[in-house]
């Protein structure tokens, strides 16, 4: 990643809907060079995708929570199975496999607290590998969507 690649990534993180011409103008390079560099960033996996950010509250998912799970026995099969199960549930936004006291941290978004309770009781607590979980409701959050990359030449 050089300074131009970093600038392309930074601009696309800010607005992935920029046309190639607009992107090139913001960075100060030719549109043809910008197109080639952007394609190479995609080919190398630096740009993994372009996504629309959705307001969960605006689509009726007003309660978000983080749920820490402990599962047993700890084996590759159990970890992969529980991860796949969690990702199959529509309220699940992200699954993190962890080290330490907790084995998983799962981010969920649901319409209300009864829906969160139902998710826990009707889905997660029914899993035989789950030996415990703790739920933290998210009151507010801030994220840092822009990554910066040091230039390497």
Domains of the chain: 3-43 (1.10.10.10), 57-138 (3.30.70.920)
The pairing of strands 92-97 and 104-110 is: antiparallel
pLDDT tier at 151, thresholds 50, 70, 90: low
| Mean predicted lDDT score pLDDT of the chain | 94
**Opening angle at CA 89, ends 133 and 144, nearest 5:** 75
pLDDT in tens, 37-94: 999 999 999 999 988 888 999 999 999 999 999 999 999 999 999 999 999 999 999 9
Between the two ends of the chain, the Cα-to-Cα distance in Å is: 7
Q: For 24-129, where are the E strands, in sequence order?
A: 63-71, 92-97, 104-110
Question: What average pLDDT score do residues 111-140 get?
Answer: 97
Q: Measured between alpha carbons, how far is 139 from 63 in angstroms, rounded to an integer? A: 8
């Amino acid at each position: 990643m050089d300074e131009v690649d970093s600038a392309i990534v930074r601009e696309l993180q800010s607005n992935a809907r920029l046309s190639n011409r607009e992107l090139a103008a913001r960075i100060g390079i030719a549109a043809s060079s910008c197109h080639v560099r952007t394609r190479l960033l995609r080919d190398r996996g630096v740009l993994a995708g372009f996504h629309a950010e959705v307001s969960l509250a605006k689509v009726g998912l007003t309660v978000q929570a983080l749920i820490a799970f402990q599962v047993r026995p700890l084996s590759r099969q159990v970890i992969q199975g529980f991860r796949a199960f969690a990702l199959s549930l529509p309220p699940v936004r992200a699954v993190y496999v962890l080290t330490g006291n907790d084995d998983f941290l799962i981010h969920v978004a649901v319409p209300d607290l009864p829906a969160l309770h139902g998710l826990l009781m009707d889905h997660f607590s029914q899993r035989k590998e789950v030996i415990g979980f703790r739920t933290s409701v998210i009151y507010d959050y801030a994220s840092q969507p822009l990554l910066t990359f040091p230039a390497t030449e």
